[in-house]
Amino acid sequence: MTPLLAATDLAVGHGGKALIRGIDLRVDPGSVLCLLGPNGAGKTTLFRTLLGLIPPVRGRIVLGGTPLAQLSLLQIAARLAHVPQALTTPFAFSALDIVLMGAAAGLGPFARPGKAETGRAMAALERLGIADLAGAEVTRLSGGQRQLVLIARALAQEAAAVVMDEPTASLDFANRRLVGQAIRGLAEAGIGVVLSSHDPDHAAAVADRALLLNRSGLIASGPVAETMTAANLTRLYGIPVRSELGQEGRLRFY
Ligand X SMILES: Nc1ncnc2c1ncn2[C@@H]1O[C@H](COP(=O)(O)OP(=O)(O)OP(=O)(O)O)[C@@H](O)[C@H]1O
Binding residues for ligand X (CB under 6 A): 14, 19, 37, 39-45
Shortest CA distance to 42 belongs to which of 241, 238, 237, 218?
Answer: 218
Shortest distance in whole angstroms from residue 190 CB to ligand X: 28
Q: Which of residues 45 and 227 has its CB atom nearest to ligand X in the complex? A: 45
Sheet holding 5-14, edge to edge: 17-27, 5-14, 58-63, 66-67
Shortest distance in whole angstroms from residue 136 CB to ligand X: 29
251 pairs with which residues across the strands?
A: 245
Shortest distance in whole angstroms from residue 137 CB to ligand X: 29
Q: Which of residues 53 and 231 has its CB atom nearest to ligand X in the complex? A: 53
CA 98/CA 137 separation, integer angstroms: 10
Residue ranges of E strands in the chain:
5-14, 17-27, 32-36, 58-63, 66-67, 80-83, 161-164, 192-197, 209-214, 217-223, 243-245, 251-253
Shortest distance in whole angstroms from residue 200 CB to ligand X: 13
Q: Which of residues 17 and 112 has its CB atom nearest to ligand X in the complex? A: 17
Q: Sign of the CA dihedral 131, 132, 136, 141?
A: negative
Q: Which of residues 39 and 88 has its CB atom nearest to ligand X in the complex? A: 39
Shortest distance in whole angstroms from residue 237 CB to ligand X: 12
Q: Which of residues 39 and 247 has its CB atom nearest to ligand X in the complex? A: 39
Shortest distance in whole angstroms from residue 166 CB to ligand X: 7
Distances in Å between the Cα of 193 and the Cα atoms of 27, 32, 140, 180 are 7, 5, 28, 12
* Cβ count within 10 A of residue 42: 22
Shortest CA distance to 118 belongs to which of 137, 139, 94, 90?
Answer: 94
Q: Which of residues 37 and 64 has its CB atom nearest to ligand X in the complex? A: 37
